[in-house]
Structure 1
């Protein structure tokens, strides 16, 4: 049985119209990262941080899954139906829900989810689609101790135990919409080099040597569906 781990980065969601955090029109261009993406920034000015993520949450429904999201979901659906003998796990650095809306179920959000909050008092992580403010009560313990369920700078990524297990078991590692030469992609590809094939799908070639067996350049909406078609037909 084929076991594939796919790491998705900002590039795959950018093709759905979502701004990346970095880049020419990045969300961080008008904000200091330390103000909105660190625990210290949240403690200093929680209203500013809440407003930033409230705005992202409000804009999310307008973005739709693109052909790359749908292609990955089709592979998982083929596995569930028995038409393809394999397992495809998506590990995403993105905080949007586009993979889920495309139909993928085996999705690991290593940097958290925009549509969840986390209570710093009781630990509950409720699904959340509206605004949140510093005085918004937790639905479980009723304390005003909610924060975005996002991994900020200085915090550990989520679910690393299951990610490491899937990487150890895989025979193919694929990175989509990420440079591939910075962490976590660089660390992931290094960890599987001895037992798995590796592929990189990106819009542009990495600035430095990429440790992948194969690099495919072009929009993910074109290259990923072509790859998944070959995968399912092979």
Structure 2
């Protein structure tokens, strides 16, 4: 049986080579070996996907490459998701989170992982999808406790400012919390735009939101 390091390396390679079958194999081997699925996602798939995002921004990869990498990651995560959900406990809803990938950004994997983890943790999720218009976040805020936006690129990250500003204009900012995340996003950026929470990854999102509602 492959070691944990070998399986995580296979997961990264699957994304780098846009290989759906390899991603599924890495996920299946991880489950067979008793490796934490979240660890495989964050140390394997996500690391390689973030690298692909950086190469895309640098002009070293093009949109079809990014989509192919996302599809490979989705294939792997689909194998892991049942195990992740089975490990969760069904509880009463802690709160409602509306989340999506920001307008102009087709990346949805990170957002999908956060959504899955938050569901397991007991949150009700309104998944807005990817390439989400700012107006859609504002509309969703009317029925949510938290509005969360993910951005893969610095060019789309700047639109997270618009969520903050338009929530204020709509008179909704004081009634919801905002959370931002994504590869180029940092705590400094969250502080700069006035977001309530910066989530480095899915586990971080769960910990910080649970603390918020404690």
Shorter-chain TM range is: 0.3 to 0.5
Higher strand share: 1
Higher relative contact order (CA 8 A, sep 6+): 1
Q: Which one has a bigger Cα radius of gyration?
A: 1
Task: Normalising by structure 2, report the TM-score.
Answer: 0.45
Q: What TM-score, normalized to structure 1?
A: 0.42
